[in-house]
């Protein structure tokens, strides 16, 4: 039985009187555990401990932090089926998804441990002194990355494991050497609590300083706001709505010392269907897109929320097959009643816009909180005139935009805001003729997909999960994959520093055997 407490360093506390419970969205009933929202004093304590841990934790070796991350992975696995049961009871997602997401979470932790083993993420760069250079001697300059300090992470409702307590933001920040305070998502507080206990247990076993990790409960904005505004917090990781991400970004910018907020917000992930492919493979793409729109009840930031094609008999046939395929799929529960309610409101708003027509909508009676899949269509001219049609409806929803010709399609793409992804689907031959369109899409996204759907985000070095605003607040960074660590680091340059006083990564002997840029060339060599 859970105690519903906040986890502050190595302590578990419940000093406040504001309480809440999570909801089982399938049964539409409250779960048993009562969670205690963190008080301002508890927030202060967590931040103070994180601040106190900053120096010691930042000074830990790559090996020690890698061991810590691997220990977290082991502790999460040791939670066994109890974690899976908790996850399912708080999300309505099936056991297979829970286990898959746990696997992804554990693998992410191991990925960052591997990055630490390699060590080159510190980007050591050395320009040796040239005292004889004319007309001016050149100084010895050595640069590498250092941790920013305590990071506040907001648990994401749609990834209770992979983007919450021990998710990608936390794993990459801990790998960077930054203490983390998680503001748990209220809808999966029990899952967050169990995973956070595992992190603390791993921290103790790996002899990490108290305060390297804390987990605060909250159902409301107060705790998150207090963290973002706290002068000792140095960066923020967020996944959620545009309203939430933008509010936190503004708050951070208004601080006396502004800090970065890496917010991953909405995306409609446009999918462009070229004419020739629809002649050849309309059945295949209708089925694939129906699966992608409904995957996880549409609760992915990479859900294909807009499809675009050229009007004609091929697109009409594609639309008919898509309608049939999507209605073959049994709808499933959404994550929580609020998301289900917002989804219904979003669909209603879209259906009320001028020119939209229903292509397919699950009409049969369903249990509460079920996401009933819906496809609408609209003419491109009406799409262009109405920005509401460009918005994300979070759930199993997509809007098919019918363009009269390729110019009409290009004019419509030109109005699409920044996205995490875009897909272009065409035959090998026809793709060659769409350079301009491909360039237009590339300029609006972080990931451009050829002949594939946007759902499914591989965790690896080449992944870019972050696009131009409003999909994220900083398109130069990714929230997924090895480079996610860069969000929590800043460069420091040492000028004419005695070798013994340099960080080991920059010393002449290269004791860590890092790949470094020395006088312009990448090398493992000593100096
Ligand atoms: P959310 O409403 O953005 O909330 C995410 C977290 O941020 C929550 O912990 C919330 O706190 C906090 N928060 C939100 N606004 C805040 C503010 N103004 N000040 C301080 N804290 C704030 O997202 P959600 O609850 O996960 O889901 C709601 C909607 O977000 C969905 O319907 C969907 O549209 C969108 N969403 C999008 C993505 C995506 O990747 N595109 C992913 C998940 C959700 P409290 O809950 O404690 O109030």
Name every protein residue with a CB atom under 6 angstroms from any ligand 1 atom: 154, 156-158, 183, 185-186, 218-221, 224-225, 239-241, 244, 247-248, 264-267, 301, 339, 342, 394
Q: Given the CA of residue 264, which atom of ligand 1 is nearest to it?
A: 40
Task: Determine the Cα–Cα distance for residues 300 and 453; give it in Å rounded to an integer.
Answer: 12
Q: Does residue 513 fall inside a structural domain?
A: no
CB-based burial, 120-130: b 16+ in 10 Å, e otherwise: ebbbbbbbeee
Q: Does residue 72 fall inside a structural domain?
A: yes
Q: For residue 2, what pLDDT is reported?
A: 87
Q: If we measure between CA atoms, which residue out of 496, 527, 523, 522 comes closest to residue 131? A: 496
Tens of pLDDT along the chain (527 residues)? Answer: 689 999 999 999 999 999 999 999 999 999 999 999 999 999 999 999 999 999 999 999 999 999 999 999 999 999 999 999 999 999 999 999 999 999 999 999 999 999 999 999 999 999 999 999 999 999 999 999 999 999 999 999 999 999 999 999 999 999 999 999 999 999 999 999 999 999 999 999 999 999 999 999 999 999 999 999 999 999 999 999 999 999 999 999 999 999 999 999 989 999 999 999 999 999 999 999 999 999 999 999 999 999 999 999 999 999 999 999 999 999 999 999 999 999 999 999 999 999 999 999 999 878 889 999 999 999 999 999 999 999 999 999 999 999 999 999 999 999 999 999 999 999 999 999 999 999 999 999 999 999 999 999 999 999 999 999 999 999 999 999 999 999 999 999 999 999 999 999 999 999 999 999 999 999 999 99
Q: Do 93 and 201 share a domain, yes or no?
A: yes
Q: Do 347 and 381 share a domain, yes or no?
A: yes
Q: Do 356 and 437 share a domain, yes or no?
A: yes
Q: Does residue 460 fall inside a structural domain?
A: no
Whether 527 and 128 have beta carbons less than 8 Å apart is answered as yes
Q: Do 278 and 237 share a domain, yes or no?
A: no
Task: Determine the Cα–Cα distance for residues 159 and 156; give it in Å rounded to an integer.
Answer: 6
Task: Determine the Cα–Cα distance for residues 153 and 262; give it in Å rounded to an integer.
Answer: 10
Enclosing domain of residue 302: 271-450
Query: How remote is the CA of residue 241 from the centroid of ligand 1, in Å?
Result: 5
Q: Does residue 498 fall inside a structural domain?
A: no
Q: Do 255 and 140 share a domain, yes or no?
A: yes
Looking at residue 280, which CATH number applies to its domain? Answer: 3.40.309.10
Q: Does residue 171 fall inside a structural domain?
A: yes
Q: For residue 368, what pLDDT is reported?
A: 87
Domain count, the chain: 2
Task: Determine the Cα–Cα distance for residues 80 and 198; give it in Å rounded to an integer.
Answer: 11
Q: Does residue 287 fall inside a structural domain?
A: yes
- The protein residue with its alpha carbon nearest to ligand 1, atom 5, reads 240
Q: For residue 526, what pLDDT is reported?
A: 97
Q: Do 91 and 163 share a domain, yes or no?
A: yes
- The protein residue with its alpha carbon nearest to ligand 1, atom 26, reads 157
Whether 94 and 131 have beta carbons less than 8 Å apart is answered as no
Beta-strand relationship, 151-154 and 235-239? parallel
Q: Do 247 and 277 share a domain, yes or no?
A: no
Q: Do 85 and 223 share a domain, yes or no?
A: yes
Q: For residue 445, what pLDDT is reported?
A: 98
Tell me, yes or no, if 30 is annotated catalytic: no
Looking at residue 66, which CATH number applies to its domain? Answer: 3.40.605.10
The tokens for 396 are 């199993």
Q: If we measure between CA atoms, which residue out of 219, 162, 223, 213 comes closest to residue 185? A: 219
Q: Do 105 and 62 share a domain, yes or no?
A: yes
Q: Do 282 and 317 share a domain, yes or no?
A: yes
Q: Does residue 131 fall inside a structural domain?
A: no
- The active-site residue, picked from 37, 42, 75, 264, is 264
Query: How remote is the CA of residue 518 from the centroid of ligand 1, in Å?
Result: 45
Q: For residue 365, what pLDDT is reported?
A: 77
Query: How remote is the CA of residue 339 from the centroid of ligand 1, in Å?
Result: 10
Q: Do 197 and 58 share a domain, yes or no?
A: yes
Q: Does residue 66 fall inside a structural domain?
A: yes
- Name the helix (H) or strand (E) containing 490: strand 489-495
Q: Do 229 and 377 share a domain, yes or no?
A: no
DSSP result, 106-174: HHHHHHHHHHHHH-GGG--EEE--BTT-SSSPBPPEEEEEEE---EEEEPPTT-TTTTSTTSHHHHHHH
Task: Determine the Cα–Cα distance for residues 262 and 152; give it in Å rounded to an integer.
Answer: 10
Task: Determine the Cα–Cα distance for residues 53 and 17; give it in Å rounded to an integer.
Answer: 29
Task: Determine the Cα–Cα distance for residues 500 and 362; give it in Å rounded to an integer.
Answer: 69
- The active-site residue, picked from 67, 75, 301, 325, is 301
Tell me, yes or no, if 460 is annotated catalytic: no
Beta-strand relationship, 141-147 and 489-495? antiparallel
Whether 344 and 309 have beta carbons less than 8 Å apart is answered as no
């Amino acid at each position: 039985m859970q105690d519903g407490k906040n986890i502050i360093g190595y302590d578990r506390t419940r000093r406040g009187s504001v309480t809440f419970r999570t909801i089982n969205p399938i049964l539409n009933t409250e779960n048993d555990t009562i969670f205690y929202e963190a008080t301002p004093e508890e927030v202060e304590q967590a931040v103070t401990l994180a601040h106190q841990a900053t120096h010691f934790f930042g000074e830990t070796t790559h090996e020690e932090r890698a061991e810590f991350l691997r220990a977290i992975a082991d502790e999460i696995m040791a939670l066994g089926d109890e974690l899976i049961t908790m996850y399912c009871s708080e999300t309505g997602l099936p056991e297979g998804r829970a286990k898959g997401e746990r696997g992804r979470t554990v693998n992410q932790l191991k990925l960052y441990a591997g990055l630490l083993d390699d060590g080159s993420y510190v980007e050591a760069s050395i320009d040796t002194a040239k005292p004889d250079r004319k007309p001016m001697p050149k100084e010895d300059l050595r640069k590498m990355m250092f941790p920013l300090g305590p990071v506040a992470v907001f648990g994401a409702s749609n990834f209770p494991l992979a983007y919450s307590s021990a998710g990608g933001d936390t794993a990459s920040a801990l790998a960077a050497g930054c203490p983390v305070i998680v503001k748990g998502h209220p809808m999966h507080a029990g899952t967050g609590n169990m995973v956070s206990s595992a992190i603390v247990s791993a921290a103790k076993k790996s002899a990490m300083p108290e305060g390297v990790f804390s987990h605060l409960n909250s159902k409301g904005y107060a705790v998150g706001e207090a963290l973002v505004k706290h002068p000792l917090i140095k960066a923020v990781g967020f996944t959620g709505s545009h309203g939430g991400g933008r509010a936190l970004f503004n708050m951070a910018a208004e601080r006396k010392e502004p800090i970065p907020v890496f917010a991953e917000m909405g995306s409609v992930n446009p999918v462009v269907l070229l004419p020739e492919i629809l002649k050849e493979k309309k059945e295949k793409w209708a089925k694939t897109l129906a699966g992608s729109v409904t995957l996880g009840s549409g609760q992915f930031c990479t859900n294909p929320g807009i499809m675009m094609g050229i009007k004609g008999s091929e697109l009409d046939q594609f639309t008919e097959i898509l309608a049939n395929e999507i209605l073959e799929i049994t709808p499933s529960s959404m994550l929580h009643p609020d998301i289900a309610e917002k989804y219904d409101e979003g669909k209603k708003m879209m259906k009320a816009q001028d020119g939209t027509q229903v292509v397919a909508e699950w009409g049969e009676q369903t249990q509460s909180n079920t996401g009933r899949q819906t496809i609408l269509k609209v003419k491109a001219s009406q799409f262009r005139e109405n920005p509401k049609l460009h918005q994300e409806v979070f759930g199993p929803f997509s809007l098919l935009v019918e363009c009269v010709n390729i110019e009409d399609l290009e004019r419509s793409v030109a109005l699409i805001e920044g996205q995490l992804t875009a897909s272009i689907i065409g035959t090998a031959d026809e793709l060659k003729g769409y350079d301009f369109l491909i360039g237009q899409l590339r300029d609006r996204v972080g990931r451009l997909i050829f002949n594939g759907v946007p759902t499914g985000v591989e965790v690896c070095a080449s992944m870019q999960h972050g696009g131009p605003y409003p999909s994220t607040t900083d398109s130069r960074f990714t929230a997924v994959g090895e480079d996610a660590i860069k969000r929590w680091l800043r460069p420091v340059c040492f000028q004419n520093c005695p070798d013994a006083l340099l960080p080991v990564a920059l010393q002449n002997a290269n004791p860590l055997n890092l790949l470094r840029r020395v006088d312009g060339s990448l090398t493992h060599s000593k100096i």
